[in-house]
Amino acid sequence: MARYTGPVCKLCRREGVKLFLKGDKCIQKCTLERHGRNTRPGQHGTSRARKESGYAKQLREKQRVRRTYGVLERQFSKHFVAAARRPGKTSENLLQILEMRLDNLVYRLGFADSRAQARQLVNHGHFVVNGRKTDIPSFIAKPNDVIAVRDSNKSLEYFKSRALLLSQKGIPTWLRLDVNAMSGRVLTLPSRTDLELPFDEQMVVEYYQR
């Protein structure tokens, strides 16, 4: 399965914003904020920035969204096509599809510190959806779906220590967490106002519709 394996801090430097690809580690220690590192990566990173065209701004916004959710280009374009086919605003549909991915839900529920870690946990088969083992990070959940840690894995040291942290972690209002059962339920599709995201998804729509 294709995935990005390079240094994730380089992605934040390229986009010029914190993408929180390492979870809480990005709050404690960030190369983007380190003296002299708030520049684009590469030998031309310190050169004077040129004025961006409309296309360049749309491309950068698309890259920010894609990298935030840890999705490669081919998968991201498929999500956009699916969003465009749904009724309603394409931009909001796209965010809903990305938020309803299993790896993102595992992250939002607090079972992982980052989406990359959540993706690894899902790949290793630690979760079930509606009682059925699901190890596909791109699986799209629906309202009323229940995501839970497999019974055989609850005794693992990772999930034991995780259970102690879950009660202290805030989760979105469109999700419900049951700490004792180590499970979460999708109450409804998230709206744009439910998501505090540092990008303009409408520019992503403009990029693909150019």
Residue with more model confidence, 76 or 34: 76
Q: Residue 194: which residues within 8 A CB-CB, separation 6 or more? A: 172, 173, 174
**What pLDDT does 174 receive?**
96
Q: Is the pLDDT of residue 88 over 90?
A: yes
**What pLDDT does 31 receive?**
53
> Whole-angstrom Cα distance, residue 85 to residue 71?
20
Q: Encode pLDDT of 8-55 as tens digits.
A: 555 555 555 655 555 555 455 555 555 445 555 554 455 555 677 888
Write b or e for each residue in 90-105: b if 16 or more Cβ atoms lie within 10 A of its Cβ, otherwise e. Answer: bbbbbbbbbbbbbbbb
Q: Encode pLDDT of 150-176 as tens digits.
A: 999 999 999 999 988 887 788 999 999
**Which backbone phi and psi does 204 adopt, to 5 degrees?**
-65, -40
Q: How many CB atoms lie within 10 A of CB 87?
A: 5
Mean pLDDT of the chain: 83
**Which backbone phi and psi does 182 adopt, to 5 degrees?**
55, 50
CB 153 within 8 A of CB 126: yes
Residue with more model confidence, 91 or 24: 91
Q: Encode pLDDT of 102-133 as tens digits.
A: 999 999 999 998 898 999 999 999 999 999 99
pTM for the whole thing?
0.80
- Report helix, strand or coil for 34: coil
Structural domains in the chain, CATH included, are 8-98 (1.10.1050.10), 101-186 (3.10.290.10)
Amino acid letter for position 175 = L
Q: Encode pLDDT of 126-137 as tens digits.
A: 999 999 999 999
Q: Encode pLDDT of 171-190 as tens digits.
A: 999 999 999 999 999 999 99
Most confident of 139-148, 188-197, 199-208: 139-148
Closest CA to 137 of 85, 100, 186, 174: 100
Q: Is the pLDDT of residue 79 over 50?
A: yes
**What pLDDT does 39 receive?**
58
> Whole-angstrom Cα distance, residue 108 to residue 100?
10
Residues paired with residue 91 on neighbouring β-strands, in sequence order: none
Amino acid letter for position 170 = G
